[in-house]
Chains A and B, each alone.
Chain A
C-alpha cells in the first residue's frame, strides 16, 4: 500500500485548470450554444452554490439582526435587515466566556498540530527514506490508524484520560488529538518526501552529513509546501473536533468553541438565536480567513490524502 505509484495530479491546478493541459482554449465547449450552456451548466451550478452558501448567509444575517426583527417575520422581511446591530457580538465578547473559549481552541489546536507535525515528519522520513526493516508494514498500519474514528475511541480514552489525571485539562486534548492528526499528516508528508530526489541525500551522506542534518537542512526546506498543507489541515481538524472535547472537558471556562456554543448558549431563552449565530460565525471566521489565504495548500492536503 505504501508503494502506490504517485499519480500525476497537479494539485495546484485543481482550483484553476479544467484539464491537465490547461491551455485556456475553449476546448469542445464551442459545440454548445449559449442557451444550452445556461440550462445545463450555469443554472444547476447556481442552485448548488446558493444552497451550499445559504446557511452562512443566514448565520451572518441572524447575528446582526435586532431581536424583534428575528422573531417577527411578518412586519420585516426575513431576508434582509436595514438596522444591523452588534449587540449580539458585544454580548458574546464582554458578557460571556467566549474570548476564553476562543483562546482555548486556538491553544489546543496549535499545540496539538505542532506536536503531530514534528512526530509525523520524523515518522514519514523514516518510512520513506531510512527504509528500516518493516517500514512498509508500519506505513500500512499508520494508514489503518487513519481509518479508526474517534467515535469508537472516546469511551476507553475517557477512562485513560481519567487514569492519567488529565481530565478537564487542555492537556487531555493536546495529547489525544495527535492520534487523529499523525496518521493523516504522516501519509501526506510521505507523498511529499517521495518527490524529493534521492540523489541530494546521497551527496550529503557522502559529504559526511548525519541523517538528522539531512532532514533539517535538505529535506525539510524542500518540503515546505507539504508542511504548510499538513499544518493547515491539522489545524482545521483540531478546530473542528467535537467528541473528545465534549467528553474530556467539564468546566465552562476550559471548553473549546464548538462544545461551549452547543452546551452553554443553548438555554431556554427565546432570544438566544442572535448570540448563538454570532458565536457560530465568530468561531468559523478564523478558519475561513486561514482558508482564504491558503486555498491551494488546503486543496492539496485534501486531495493528497486521498491520492496516496
Chain B
C-alpha cells in the first residue's frame, strides 16, 4: 500500500490498493484464517457432538442401528427407572460431600503451606503429585489398598486391636461410597490447595500485621482478611472442582464399576454402561443430557463469581 505509482503525463497519485491487498490487511479476514484450525476442531468434535447427543436422546438408536425419533420416550422411561434416580442421588452426594471436603482440606493445606518453613518448595512440589499421576492408575492403587482380603487398612486396624474382621471396603454399599469419595478428595485436594496458595500469596502480609496490632485473633485474621480477599479465586476453583467431580467417570470405573448394587453408579458411569456396554445409545444419551442442567448451574455460578471479582477489585468492565 505504501507503493506510489507515478502515472505518465499526470500528476503523481497514490495507486489504489487492489482488492487482494485490502483483504490481506483486513483484520476480520485474517482473524478468520487464524481461527480456522481451532474452530474446526471445536465445531466438528465438540459443538456438533453436543447437539447430536441431545438429538440422540430423543431417538431409539442402538449400536449398529439407525434410530427413529421417539420424542421424550427415553426420558419417560428414565423417570420411572429407580436405578437412574439412584445414580442422580449418588452423583449429588458424591459431588456435594467431595467438593465440600476438598474445599475445607484444600484451604487448610494452602494455609499451612503458606507458612515459612524448611524444604518449602519441595513440600509444595510433592503435594501436587496426586494430581499429576493419571487418575486411573492411582485409583488402581486405591483398589488394592481397599481390597477385601489383603487391605493394608484392615490389617493395620486389626493389629491395633480396633477391629476383629476385615472391612469389606468396596463390597459394602456405605463403605464403597466412603471409599470412592475418599479417593476423589485425595486426588482433588492438591489442585485446590495449590491454586488457593497462589491466591494467598497476593494477600499483603502488612494487612495481617496491622490486624495483629489491633488485637485480632487468628480466626478473625482469617475471617476478615484472608477469606474476603480469596473469595473470587475460591469461586473459580470451586466451580471447576464441582464440575469435574460431577462428571467424574474414571475413578469410579477403575475402582467399583458402579457396584456394589449400583451404590456408586454416577450418571456418567450409568450412561456408559447403558450406551456402550448395553448398546442403547439413545438411552445413554438421555442420561448424559440430563447432566446438562446441572452443568449450566455450575457455569452460572462461575460467571457470577467472576463478575464479583471485577467489582471487588474496583475495576470497571473494560
Task: Name which of A42-50, A88-96, A195-203 contacts chain B.
Answer: A42-50
Interface residues in B43-95 (C-beta closer than 8 Å to A):
44-50, 52-53, 56, 61
Q: Complex formed: what's the CA distance from A273 to B152 in Å?
A: 13
A193 to chain B, nearest CB (A): 12
Interface residues in A67-97 (C-beta closer than 8 Å to B):
70-71, 73, 78
Binary flags per residue of B263-295, CB closer than 8 Å to A gives 1, else 0: 000001001100110000100110011011001
Counting chain A CB atoms within 10 Å of each CB, which of B120, B124, B133 scores highest? Answer: B133
Q: Provide the residues of chain B in CB contact with A148, threshold 8 Å.
A: 46, 50, 295
Interface residues in B115-156 (C-beta closer than 8 Å to A):
115-117, 120-121, 123-138, 140-142, 144-145, 147, 150, 152, 155
Task: Name which of B7-15, B96-104, B167-175, B201-209 contacts chain A.
Answer: B201-209
Number of A-B contacts (CB under 8 A): 327
- Number of B interface residues at 8 Å Cβ cutoff, please give it: 115
Binary flags per residue of A130-152, CB closer than 8 Å to B gives 1, else 0: 11110100100010110111111
Q: Complex formed: what's the CA distance from A261 to B194 in Å?
A: 30
The reply to whether A298 and B144 contact each other, CB–CB distance below 8 Å, is: no
| Among A41, A277, A292, contact of B140 (Cβ-Cβ < 8 Å) | A277
The reply to whether A298 and B132 contact each other, CB–CB distance below 8 Å, is: yes
Q: Complex formed: what's the CA distance from A157 to B145 in Å?
A: 35
The reply to whether A9 and B105 contact each other, CB–CB distance below 8 Å, is: no
Interface residues in A105-120 (C-beta closer than 8 Å to B):
115-116, 118-120
The reply to whether A131 and B134 contact each other, CB–CB distance below 8 Å, is: no
Q: Complex formed: what's the CA distance from A151 to B290 in Å?
A: 12
B317 to chain A, nearest CB (A): 7
Q: Complex formed: what's the CA distance from A135 to B116 in Å?
A: 43
Q: Does A213 contact B (CB under 8 A)?
A: no
Residue numbers of A with Cβ under 8 A of B are 1, 3-5, 7-11, 13-21, 24, 26-29, 31, 41-42, 44-45, 48-49, 51-53, 55-56, 58-59, 62, 70-71, 73, 78, 115-116, 118-120, 122-123, 125-127, 130-133, 135, 138, 142, 144-145, 147-160, 175-176, 178-179, 182-183, 186, 208, 211, 236, 239-240, 242-243, 246-247, 257-259, 261-262, 273, 276-277, 280-281, 283-284, 287-288, 291-292, 295, 298-299, 302-303, 306-307
Residue numbers of B with Cβ under 8 A of A are 2, 27-28, 30-32, 34-42, 44-50, 52-53, 56, 61, 105, 108-109, 112-117, 120-121, 123-138, 140-142, 144-145, 147, 150, 152, 155, 186, 189-191, 194-195, 197-199, 201-205, 208-209, 212, 233, 236-237, 240, 243-244, 247-250, 253-254, 268, 271-272, 275-276, 281, 284-285, 288-289, 291-292, 295, 298-299, 302-303, 306, 309-310, 313, 315, 317-318
